[in-house]
Structure 1
Amino acid sequence: MFAVALRLLRSILLPLAVALPLVAARAMAAGPAAPVMLALDGEFGLANSTSAESIERGILTAIDDINRQGGVLGGRPLTLITREHRSISARGIKNIRELATIPDLVAVFGGRFSPVVMEELPLLRQSRMPFLAPWSSADAIVDNRMEPNYVFRLSLRDGLAMPFLLKRAADRGQTRVGLLLTNTAWGRSNLEAANRFLAGRKEPVLVGTAWYNWRDRSLIDKYQLLADAGAQAILLVANDDEAAVLVREVAALPPARRLPILSHWGVTGGDFAGQAGPALQEVDFSVIQTVSPFRIPPDRLDPVLRTAGPLFGIHRPEDIVSPVGFLHAYDLTRILALAIDRAGTTDRAAVRDALEQVGPYRGVTRDFDRPFTPDRHEALGPDDLLMARFRADGVLVPVE
């Protein structure tokens, strides 16, 4: 009886002894699971810019969290590749064309500059590449007539920004406003948004619109035209370089001639406070934002900081440079990972469809029932907006 049992046991163990090393060898030969690739096409290399780096840090922080939790698709890690366009549309188009050819690259994140993204739209439509916008705000980026739409935005849009800024000015008793706009698609997007909001309203009154060109060395003449037209406040659409020039010039005026400036958020994508210097504290300057790390509850922000600290030295809210880029990119990456798992594949069309179905999602910025739907590719709305100011140390803090 014992001999029969021993022969039976040997008949089971011997095949196992042979099979297990073979399974292990095959697993070792197969190597680690192939990564799922994401890309960021941003304004790296642009002087004084911090936006692309902030977006990159948000993505990489989320990727680190996701990979430590097992990755996507049953154990595949996420990885990020970057391309720089330096705010030049031709470079961005070239980048998208190259990125579209990479197998297992499921989506591209964009940077700060709306004109670059808008020039990339035809190629995004042609390549059917999911495109995630954590910063660029021109309405036409999402309102692009794609069928189906491959663009998803967790960010501000000009159609929200201009009404909010105009209402904020009116609430402060500044009912006569002037627009100072960059002569780009982004500036024109904001003028259209302002005109739509003002149509049929008595207040605020738009006394004039002035345009400036990229890298203009002086804006004071445009400012003065609006002041002479009776503006009580200036609504500024600018990036950090030109805004810093304006602030220094306005601070040099007598105090009675310094109008309040309510700014779009392009100024927060670079070293605006450093370029403006002490003059910034001499001007009534506030800027629109969608989120402030100072208003995020610790139970949401602290886990993100614990990951970002060792990676980038980001340990406190004050350490987050260009905060909207970092925070939006973090949440967009987590949402994208959920969509990849929901799709069960790296097929771009399937991931696009899954992005419309993800939810609920508890984000660092806020909770989302469904960030996106088939009829809505904008994750944020009018209730997500706030105003902020720069402290003397250059840190952006919410206006109470």
Structure 2
Amino acid sequence: MFFMKYVFEFLICTSFIFITSFSSNVYAEQKYTIYLDADFSGATASSLAIQQGITTALAEVDNQIQGIQFELVIKDHRANSLRSRRNLEKFLLDDQALMVFSGLHSPPLLANKSFINDNKILLLDPWAAAGPITRSSSSQNWIFRLSIDDSNAGSFISKKAIEEGFSKPYLLLEDTGWGRSNEKTMTKALQEASIKPVGLSWFNWGAGKNHAKVLLRDIKNSGADVIFFVGNSVEGVTFTHAMVELPENIRLPIRSHWGITGGDFTQKVTATERKKVDLQFIQTSFSFLNDNISPLAENVLALSIKSNEGLNNKTDIKAPTGFVHAYDLTKIVIAAIRQVKLTGDKNQDKVLVHHALEHLAEPVSGLLKTYHRPFTPFSKQKLDAHEALTIDDYSMGRYNSKDEVVLLK
């Protein structure tokens, strides 16, 4: 009898140990992936910077939250909205995929916005700036942005140009949803200053240099004293080269959106060439090149070098705003996840994280600033609810002779 009791107790104990061990192993093996759906072919610098920012923020928590491993998965949509849609469809089929970070381009997000919201895809935007991206037409809004918002960007670029003394701007914009959203906000901002653009021209991706030269000559002949440019790095290179090749007396200053900083602009347009053009572009108000950066920024920089292959110093971050925004946005996401209890079920957890993002209880210290409730529940009365930054966080910048982005005070 004693022997049977001993065997029974031994079996119960062994079973308990096995079940506990099995449960622990299952929990330890739980993994969530974060998709980065961006253009790694044409806008490589911006996409890599975003990747580096996310990786650095995850490294701060040893790539795990609540015992669950988080891993970054790279998806290259090559600036193609249909390819981005397919990446989002793959995301929906991936039971381990919890959220998606987007890249530089606005058109893929604008084209797929309804699909994202209808399917409740938790999407974090650290760069794409088109105003409508975070303004849903329904009560469902699953896109959160920590970046420049074109509802304010056009106003900021216009205001800074007017402060410099320009009064006859010409709008030179790419013919996409991003370009069209900027046309509206720039025109409105100029109207508020009683200024009317002297002209407007649209260009397509892949515009040639000869076409660019013709456009630039026409713009000069219009009487313009400054060009407001909205385009990406490829077209930025084309128009800058075209400007450099024009006679000096017909070159105009360019005040640009930041799309030109997302690719290989400094590799294609040398410092010597850039000296011949008065070029400034919008940025946000943090740079690792600033004097006396904070201890937090020093630590982030050191960890970024440790965590990312190819980063050996701060000048290796070629599109710094992408890094800064992605790092800050990932820190906010980590804070939101820590505010809830993850279940391991993707569909339940994304709802929990979405709610937490809109109701963050504790401030989050980032590179740009400390975020106090950066997001709130979205409604038609609160169109800025999913915008973490405001116009007060913007600055203008330029490239220096070392190909670095320098903020202008």
> Does the TM-score normalized on the shorter chain lie above 0.5?
yes
The count of corresponding residues between Structure 1 and Structure 2 is 384
Tell me which of 342, 361, 365 is aligned to 1:362.
365
Q: CA deviation at 1:304?
A: 1.1
Q: Give SS of 1:174's match.
A: coil
C-alpha distance in structure 2 between counterparts of 1:87 and 1:35, whole Å: 29
Which deviations, in whole Å up to 9, do the C-alpha atoms of 1:327-371 show, x marking residues without a partner?
111111111112122232252222111111124111122111111
User: Are the structure 2 counterparts of residues 339 and 364 from structure 1 closer, same or farther at C-alpha, using a change threshold of 3 Å?
Assistant: same
C-alpha distance in structure 1 between counterparts of 2:234 and 2:95, whole Å: 38
Q: Is residue 43 of structure 1 aligned with residue 33 of structure 2?
A: no
Instruction: Specify the alignment match of 2:165 in structure 1.
Output: 173
Q: Is residue 76 of structure 1 aligned with residue 58 of structure 2?
A: no
Q: Give SS of 1:377's match.
A: coil
Alpha carbons 1:179, 1:209 under 8 Å: kept: yes
Instruction: Specify the alignment match of 2:225 in structure 1.
Output: 232
After the TM superposition, which residues 1-400 of structure 1 pair with which residues of structure 2 at under 5 Å, given as runs?
A: 22=18, 25-26=21-22, 29-30=25-26, 32-46=28-42, 49-67=44-62, 71-72=64-65, 74-203=66-195, 205-218=196-209, 219-277=212-270, 278-290=272-284, 291-295=286-290, 297-312=293-308, 313-345=310-342, 346=346, 347=348, 348-358=350-360, 359-374=362-377, 375=382, 376-400=385-409
User: Are the structure 2 counterparts of residues 111 and 231 from structure 1 closer, same or farther at C-alpha, using a change threshold of 3 Å?
Assistant: same
Alpha carbons 1:372, 1:378 under 8 Å: kept: yes
User: Are the structure 2 counterparts of residues 130 and 26 from structure 1 closer, same or farther at C-alpha, using a change threshold of 3 Å?
Assistant: closer
Which deviations, in whole Å up to 9, do the C-alpha atoms of 1:92-150 show, x marking residues without a partner?
01111110122242211111110111111121022101111000000010112231311
Alpha carbons 2:59, 2:307 under 8 Å: kept: no
Q: Give SS of 2:93's match.
A: coil
Which deviations, in whole Å up to 9, do the C-alpha atoms of 1:73-100 show, x marking residues without a partner?
x211211112111001110011111101
C-alpha distance in structure 2 between counterparts of 1:146 and 1:324, whole Å: 30
Alpha carbons 2:27, 2:67 under 8 Å: kept: no
Q: Give SS of 1:383's match.
A: helix
Q: CA deviation at 1:26?
A: 3.7
Q: Give SS of 2:275's match.
A: helix
Alpha carbons 1:67, 1:78 under 8 Å: kept: no
Q: Give SS of 2:199's match.
A: strand
Q: CA deviation at 1:316?
A: 3.5
Paired residue type of 1:212: F
Paired residue type of 1:82: I
C-alpha distance in structure 2 between counterparts of 1:354 and 1:17, whole Å: 40
C-alpha distance in structure 2 between counterparts of 1:293 and 1:190, whole Å: 28
Alpha carbons 2:280, 2:397 under 8 Å: kept: yes
Paired residue type of 2:205: W
Paired residue type of 1:161: A
Paired residue type of 2:372: D
Q: Percent identity?
A: 30
Q: Give SS of 1:293's match.
A: coil
Q: CA deviation at 1:22?
A: 4.7
Query: Any stretches of 5+ residues in structure 2 without a counterpart?
Result: 1-5
Q: CA deviation at 1:310?
A: 2.1
Deviates more, 1:312-321 or 1:99-108: 312-321
